[in-house]
Amino acid sequence: MDVLGIAKQAGRLVWTNKYLWFFGFFVASAGGGAGAPPKGKPSAGGAEALPGWLWPVLAAAALAGLVALILHVVSEAALIEGIQHRRENRSFGIRLGFSSGLRHFWRVVGVKMLAAAVVLAAAGLIVAPVLLAVFKALPLWIGIPLTILLALAGVPLLLTGYFLYEYALRFAVLEGAPATDAYRAAMGFLHGRIVPSVLLLVTSSVSAIVAAPLALVAAIPAAIVGGIVYLTAGLVPALASGVPVLVVLLVPVFGALGTFRSAVWTLGFLDARKAA
């Protein structure tokens, strides 16, 4: 596998098909998790009531999160099929991307749900000895070392699981396989391709090194705008003005990042399938 050639081809596709950045943004920006719920200060009558303005903000945030999750799934499929189309010099665009994403929506959801279930099960297994030690069901001197050993042993397994996930997505989108069949196909596909998969992972991750400082630079104007508005009008107007500025500036950064990473895996998959 010519990983350097794949990286160059991915870079060209990303630069010459900037409309894919729209989908790339939702793929790249879906890694964050929800934090703990805010706690009110205790008072004599119990927990302090939340401010009235906070409820519509929370409702809007929940709705935005749901829309972003749907767009993430749609964008995952759209990028994979879009890269295949553009590699073969076939036409593609935002409209076709949405059509592709909706067509493959439930297959992609299935692949992601299976991956999430495996990760949660692995995490539970790793922390189980420590939890048993906390509840006095296991000596602490056994629980902590056992958790460390399980974590170390789990690294190559989770890495293999990630490779299977990336390939299963492409079997689901490009070959129309249901989620379970996509993982079975990915297992057979990964056999003998561990080293190329590691190289693809390293190549796709390099873009994050470039994107990180660019994202910090993009955050500066948003922080300035939000800070000025906060000093003059308060928190809510500051968020309402600063967040849109931040999103507008981050879309091209994270869009290019997500598109490049997806392109590397898709091109590597297509090259390997062609050579098989």
Condensed to tens digits (0 to 9), the pLDDT of residues 133-145 reads: 888 888 888 888 8
Over the Cα atoms of the chain, what is R_g?
22
User: What pLDDT score was predicted for residue 227?
Assistant: 86
Residues 6+ apart with CB under 8 A from 274: none
Q: What DSSP state is assigned to residue 234?
A: -
What are the backbone dihedrals phi and psi of residue 47, each rounded to the nearest 5 degrees, phi first? -70, 140
User: What pLDDT score was predicted for residue 183?
Assistant: 97
Residues 6+ apart with CB under 8 A from 98: 74, 78
Q: Which contacts (CB < 8 Å, 24+ apart) does range 8-13 have?
A: 9/87, 9/263, 9/267, 10/260, 10/263, 10/264, 10/267, 11/260, 13/83, 13/86, 13/87, 13/259, 13/263
Tokens of 199: 């190289």
pLDDT at residue 51 greater than cutoff 60: yes
pLDDT at residue 37 greater than cutoff 50: no
State the amino acid at position 154 in one-letter form: G
Residues 6+ apart with CB under 8 A from 194: 160, 163
User: What pLDDT score was predicted for residue 104?
Assistant: 96
Cα–Cα–Cα angle for 274, 204, 76, nearest 5°?
75
- Structure-derived torsion over alpha carbons of residues 179, 182, 187, 190, reported in degrees to the nearest 10: -130
State in Å, rounded, how far the first CA of the chain is from the last one.
11
In 3-state terms, what secondary structure has residue 46?
strand
DSSP structure string for 181-216:
HHHHHHHHHHTT-HHHHHHHHHHHHHHHHHHHHHHH
* Tens-digit pLDDT profile for residues 168-215: 999 999 999 999 999 999 999 999 999 999 999 999 988 888 878 888
Q: Which residue has the higher pLDDT, 220 or 164?
A: 164
* Tens-digit pLDDT profile for residues 82-135: 999 999 999 999 999 999 999 999 999 999 999 999 999 989 999 998 888 888
Q: Would strands 46-47 and 42-43 be described as parallel, antiparallel, or unpaired?
A: antiparallel
Task: Confirm whether pTM is higher than 0.85.
Answer: no
Tokens of 251: 């879309």
**Closest Cα to residue 168, out of 193, 195, 191, 187?**
187
* Tens-digit pLDDT profile for residues 223-242: 888 888 888 888 878 888 88
Spatial separation of the C-alpha atoms in residues 239 and 230, rounded to whole Å: 8
Spatial separation of the C-alpha atoms in residues 247 and 139, rounded to whole Å: 49
Tokens of 192: 């003998």
